[in-house]
Amino acid sequence: MNRQDLRHQGEAMLKTLFGSVAQPAGLANLLTEAAYGGIWTRPGLSVQDRLICTIAALGVGPRLKALRRHLGAGLDHGLSAEVIREILVQASLYSGFSAAEETLALAGEVFADRGIQFPADPPEDASLEELDRRGAALMASLHGSRATQGYASPDNPVTGALYPAAIRYGYGEIWSRPGLAHRQRALVAIAAFTALRLPEQVAKFGQSALNVGLTRTEVIEAIIQTAPYTGFPPALNALGAISAAFK
């Protein structure tokens, strides 16, 4: 395959995603060839899953202009408004809830432009005790022995000042919400942590993703998918971390 072939592949993918091959001036051939021809057409991960990863990576920025475009593509390729909301909510768990103020507002605009009502928030009526129980159980089933290692160690008084809240609201609330399967939430976590340059978390969640239905190939592809949007160096660092973890 030569560069022209990659560009043709990229143009076909652009039309599939956006209905147009238009790209920003100065980046057109580069994006068409490297991102849409070289990465989006790789085997190992479906287009819908690639959209989940891309929206998560753009959502932690947040990079609103590119995010708007990919939210529209997500709706066109089978991601419901509820799924998109949950991707953005979960991404904000990792980058800060302040990011969701911008990304969810943008999603609301995209939905409104298409006549889609913003989905109602799921019930949040569980007690704190129930959130703690649910979070601990989900964390243990997802991570196994890694659930109590590193900053998650229960006998660390410093990280223990914050980590119980992460279990309560991260696993007990957000990971337990309807709208995204655990397999999809693992994709969100891997892409978001790669974009945030947190290879240790990528390695942890990349291994745990195997417990909720992802394959090693899908984990690797989820990391690669972020490269055109949040940088090749963070993706390479994450690939290095997951390579060592898989060994």
**Is the CB of residue 169 less than 8 Å from the CB of residue 131?**
yes
| Percent of the chain residues past pLDDT 70, beyond the cut | 100
Distance CA 34, CA 29 (A): 8
Same domain, 146 and 184: no
Taking 90 as the threshold, does the pLDDT of residue 23 lie above it? no
Same domain, 132 and 242: no
* 119 burial type by CB count under 10 A (0-12 exposed, 13-18 middle, 19+ buried): middle
Same domain, 133 and 118: no
pLDDT in tens, 200-218: 999 999 999 999 999 999 9
Residue 186 lies in a domain: yes
Distance CA 146, CA 96 (A): 23
The CATH number that applies at residue 201 is 1.20.1290.10
- Tokens of residue 36, six digits: 């849409």
Residue 56 lies in a domain: yes
**Rounded to two decimals, what is the model's pTM?**
0.96
- The boundaries of the domain holding residue 146 are 128-169
Q: What is the mean pLDDT of residues 16-20?
A: 95
Residue 103 lies in a domain: yes
DSSP character for 116?
A: P
Residue 32 lies in a domain: no
pLDDT at position 99 is 95
Listed in sequence order, the residues at least 6 apart from 26 whose beta carbon sits closer than 8 Å to its beta carbon are: none
Distance CA 181, CA 114 (A): 25
Distance CA 92, CA 89 (A): 5
Taking 90 as the threshold, does the pLDDT of residue 102 lie above it? yes
Q: What is the mean pLDDT of residues 74-101?
A: 97
